[in-house]
Amino acid sequence: MVGKILGSRYEVLDRIGTGGMSLVYRARDLTLNRIVAVKILKQQWAEDRDVVSRFDQEARSAASLTNLHVVQVFDVGREEPDVHYIVMELIIGQTLRTKLDANPVLSVREALSIGEQVADALDAAHAKKLVHRDIKPQNILIAEDKTVKVTDFGIAYATTSGTLVNTRSFLGTVQYLSPEQARGKLVSAQSDLYSLGVVLFEMLTGRLPFEGDSAIGVALKHLQDQAPDVRTIRPTLSEGVSRVVARALAKDPAERYQSAAAMRSDMLRILDPDADLPPVAPAVEPLPPRGELPSRTKTKEEHKVNPKRVWLIVGGVAVVVIGLGIFAFYHWLETPTVAVPNVRGSKLAAARRQLKAKGLLVQLAGYSHSDQPEGQVLGETPQPGTPVKAGQTVELVISSGPVKVTLPNFKGQTLVVVEEDLRALDLKWRVKRIASAKPTGLVLSQVPLAHHQIPRTTTVALTVSKGPTIPTLMPNLIGMTPSEAATAVAKDNLDMGTPVATYSLEPDGTIVDQSPKPYQPIRGVSQVTVDESDGPSPESAHLSKSETPVPFTIPKSAAKHTLFEAVVTDTAGNKEFFYQLVDPGMQVSVPAAWYGASAQVTFYLNGSQDGPPLPLTAPPGGNFPNPGVSSNQTSNATNGVGNQVGNAP
């Protein structure tokens, strides 16, 4: 993607971030000559309609907002065939998550300053009937000048004054989820303020108000438990700070701040008690039902009050109320008290029967993804064992099964990139590395296969190339002493056999031949055998020594890295060995030496003899002639020049 120009306008410079479904790049706007951020939907999600719809939703939601504390969207587009992108302002700074990881507890002034700026952004969103639904430190950016920006409106939802969002599963991050989101109930602006309250709690104390071993455990605590007072964790905090956090974290949305502006105003008053802040508009009272609007044209007679009539009405109402109260009291006394049974782990139908048998009513509080099978009860309120009157309602949280994700196609990608994607998808994985002709680190296969829907509990198995197998080669021991050779082969866990004495022109005590041959792969070998020079044969003492280079051309049909071997034998019983790794067409010069009037040299390529032996002759009188050449080796051996050395008997 780097170097590509999107929409004939945005030049992608480098990647600066990664999310679960998108990549973020730094880019240059060629029209306005400015640096921007470009968020690009990952290719594996480009064909998923739900994901593309959410991606477009983020662009529409953020583009409709104009606020200093909302990351501004400049443009949105699509490059054929499947590159979806959003162009945004580039924020130089860090996320609040990064800041808290480095410094978990912030000063009151810094925490409230961040909080009031987030509240200002939410106030702008709520004014446009947008609920963010995922306020958390990862979605709060802090620029270098300390300006706070809210980003990622990917699951924001448009509402009207009477229409809210209802969902069967959690949307958002469970640690920052409001109780109504955890129940799968209606969400509103107050849901965002609850999440902001959790963020404030974390900034001020260095911990979350609710923690647990699993997502469902945390969600149930949001539903059932009261958040601790921040002063129990950080006693130096003021009562005013404690009240702001406690009100934001109220279980009932009606008990929370009724607007982000009201919450922001309280934070600003703590930061600057003398600030002259404008009054916050009160929440609008609901209108009475249609047909019950009060009349604006009452007559004076209608305004007159008859005292006797009033007392009659009051008395009548009092009698009815008292009577109903006495009846309800005796009915309550007669209603049996039962203990709430433990239905956790039961299927919904079985839980209904068990609760009905106790005279209790059932209400579904919501659904949550979990490791438990779909339809199984995860939690109940009141808690099991709680004594209640028959007829009371028990709320149940039901498992909707594990969260499922669509597995992308990882084949052909590098392991580094794939691990980044798996981490973003919150999936586990294991890696098996095998030898392959493919480059090292390339994913060869995956299980489950691409595009399958899998639970988040699934472990993805990846087979990764570790590159071609490079065999261990046998070292060239020719010319070494046996002790030197033993040290060399010990590095490859090989033993040295007992050397075999061989007549040779090489110095006494040096190795002249070996098995396995030099430069060959060591497979299934545990011991190396060598031939050790015992000097020239006794017959050599009465003969003249001859030397000459013998040229040889490697056939073009030979393979690369072929092992070339030449063996010189003379009539006196001496042997010389020569080894070299060669390539097709290469010229090789064999240093031949022997005693007596004649000798021969035999050539081998990868252990196979190449033609008949080549005769070598020396005329009497000391002038060394050209080596003889057999008919089928004329193309390989060329004329050589040699010397004859006379040895005294």
Amino acid letter for position 209: P
> What CATH code would you report for 337-399?
3.30.10.20
Q: What pLDDT, on the 0 to 100 scale, is given for residue 342?
A: 94
Q: What pLDDT, on the 0 to 100 scale, is given for residue 318?
A: 60
Higher pLDDT, 113 or 335: 113
Q: What pLDDT, on the 0 to 100 scale, is given for residue 433?
A: 92
Q: What pLDDT, on the 0 to 100 scale, is given for residue 229?
A: 94
Higher pLDDT, 318 or 18: 18
Whether the pLDDT of residue 562 is over 50: the answer is: yes
Render pLDDT for 424-446 as a digit per residue (tens, 0 to 9): 787 899 999 998 888 889 999 99
In words, the CATH class of domain 1-90 is: alpha beta
DSSP string, 14-47: EEEEE-SSEEEEEEEETTTTEEEEEEEE-GGGTT
Whether the pLDDT of residue 643 is over 80: the answer is: no
Residue 287 tokens read as: 């209108």
Whether the pLDDT of residue 264 is over 90: the answer is: yes
Q: What pLDDT, on the 0 to 100 scale, is given for residue 530?
A: 95
Share of the chain above pLDDT 90, in %: 42
Q: What average pLDDT does this structure show over 378-401? A: 84
| 340 in Cβ contact with 359 (< 8 Å) | no
Q: What average pLDDT does this structure show over 54-78? A: 80
The yes-or-no answer to whether 337-399 and 404-465 have a common fold is: yes
Cα-to-chain-centroid distance, residue 610: 57
Amino acid letter for position 385: G
Higher pLDDT, 144 or 302: 144
Alpha-carbon span 8 to 621, nearest angstrom? 88
Band of residue 648 on the pLDDT scale cut at 50, 70, 90: very low
Highest mean pLDDT among 13-17, 471-475, 503-507: 503-507
Over the chain, what is the mean pLDDT?
Answer: 81
Among the residue ranges 144-153, 229-238, 545-554, the one predicted with the least confidence is 144-153
Q: What pLDDT, on the 0 to 100 scale, is given for residue 144?
A: 87
Share of the chain above pLDDT 70, in %: 82
> What CATH code would you report for 92-276?
1.10.510.10
Active site residue: 14, 56, 123, 134, which one?
134
Q: What pLDDT, on the 0 to 100 scale, is given for residue 534?
A: 94
Alpha-carbon span 266 to 241, nearest angstrom? 9
Alpha-carbon span 76 to 37, nearest angstrom? 12
Band of residue 620 on the pLDDT scale cut at 50, 70, 90: low
Task: Give kind and range of the element (H or E) at residue 160.
Answer: none
Cα-to-chain-centroid distance, residue 620: 82
Alpha-carbon span 506 to 632, nearest angstrom? 30
Domain ranges of the chain: 1-90, 92-276, 337-399, 404-465, 482-645
Q: What average pLDDT does this structure show over 65-72? A: 87
Active site residue 225: no
Question: 404 forms bridges with which residues in the sheet?
Answer: 455
Where does 225-337 have alpha helices with state H?
Answer: 230-233, 239-248, 260-271, 300-303, 307-334
Query: CA angle, 375 as apex, 372 and 173 as ends, to 5°?
Result: 60
Residue at token pair 């010229």: 587
Decide yes or no: CATH 3.30.10.20 for domain 404-465.
Answer: yes
Q: What average pLDDT does this structure show over 31-36? A: 89
Q: How far is CA 186 from CA 13, 216, 241, 286, in A?
A: 42, 19, 28, 18
Q: What pLDDT, on the 0 to 100 scale, is given for residue 622?
A: 44
Alpha-carbon span 563 to 568, nearest angstrom? 17
Band of residue 310 on the pLDDT scale cut at 50, 70, 90: low
pTM: 0.47
